[in-house]
């Protein structure tokens, strides 16, 4: 098989395995790293912790929606998830969430499976970081 084809997956396979194999043949786009130290700031420049209501919604998404997206890499559902995050970032003035949502959207728009998988895997760490900002 390896000599006759450029790639293959063995049955049964997951969507993630299929996407990983396909990503070898799709055009690559530069991965955009998320800013690790970005935080919400007050007008005077002091960091402002995220809203408890925003954190509650992010925790809900982390438990209810994110695991399925992370495991399936479904592009349309991921775009809807990123749009929801973008809306939350605007509603609660959370630039780091907006930056993350844009990175996820861009990866989904370009069918950049490797970047999509990377960004989706980072969501729970982002939520934890925002929670630590609240505790600080």
pLDDT tens per residue, range 94-114: 999 999 999 999 999 998 888
Is the model's pTM score more than 0.85? no
pLDDT band at 14 (very low <50, low <70, confident <90, very high): confident
The pair of structure tokens assigned to 102 is 């844009």
Q: How much is the mean pLDDT over the chain? A: 82
Angstrom distance (rounded) from CA 100 to CA 110: 16
* Domain presence at residue 46: no
Does residue 4 form part of some domain? no
78-86 contacts at long range (C-beta below 8 A, 24 or more positions apart): 78/104, 78/108, 78/116, 78/120, 79/105, 79/108, 79/109, 82/108, 85/61
- Is residue 82 situated within a structural domain? yes
Residues 23, 108 contacting (CB under 8 angstroms) = no
pLDDT at 75 over 80: yes
Give the three-state DSSP class for 24: coil
Q: Is residue 111 part of a domain?
A: yes
H-helix segments, the chain: 15-23, 52-64, 66-72, 75-91, 95-109, 113-121, 123-135
Does the structure show a pLDDT above 90 at 124? yes
Q: For residues 5 and 73, which has the higher predicted lDDT (pLDDT)?
A: 73
Within a domain: 74: yes
Range of the domain at 102: 51-136
Is residue 108 one of the residues assigned to a domain?
A: yes
Please choose, from the candidates 110, 8, 122, 120, the residue with its C-alpha nearest in 3D space to the C-alpha of residue 71: 120
The verdict on residue 23 lying in a domain is: no
How far apart CA 114 and CA 28 sit, in angstroms, is 9
The total of structural domains in the chain comes to 1
Higher pLDDT, 133 or 93: 93
Token pair 């999509």 is at which residue? 116
Is 40 part of a structural domain of the chain?
no
pLDDT at 19 over 90: no
Place of tokens 């996407």: 19
Q: What is the pLDDT of residues 23-68, one digit of tens each?
A: 777 665 544 444 444 444 444 444 567 889 999 999 999 999 999 9
């Amino acid at each position: 098989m390896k000599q006759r084809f450029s790639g293959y997956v063995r049955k049964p396979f997951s969507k993630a395995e299929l996407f990983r194999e396909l990503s070898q043949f799709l055009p690559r786009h530069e991965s955009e790293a998320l800013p690790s130290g970005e935080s919400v700031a007050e007008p005077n420049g002091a960091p402002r912790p995220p809203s408890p209501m925003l954190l509650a919604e992010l925790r809900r998404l982390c438990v209810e929606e994110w695991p399925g997206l992370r495991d399936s890499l479904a592009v349309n559902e991921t775009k809807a998830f990123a749009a929801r995050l973008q809306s939350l970032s605007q509603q609660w003035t959370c630039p780091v969430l907006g930056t993350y949502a844009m990175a996820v959207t861009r990866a989904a728009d370009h069918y950049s499976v490797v970047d999509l998988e990377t960004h989706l895997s980072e969501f729970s760490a982002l939520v934890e970081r925002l929670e630590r900002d609240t505790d600080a």
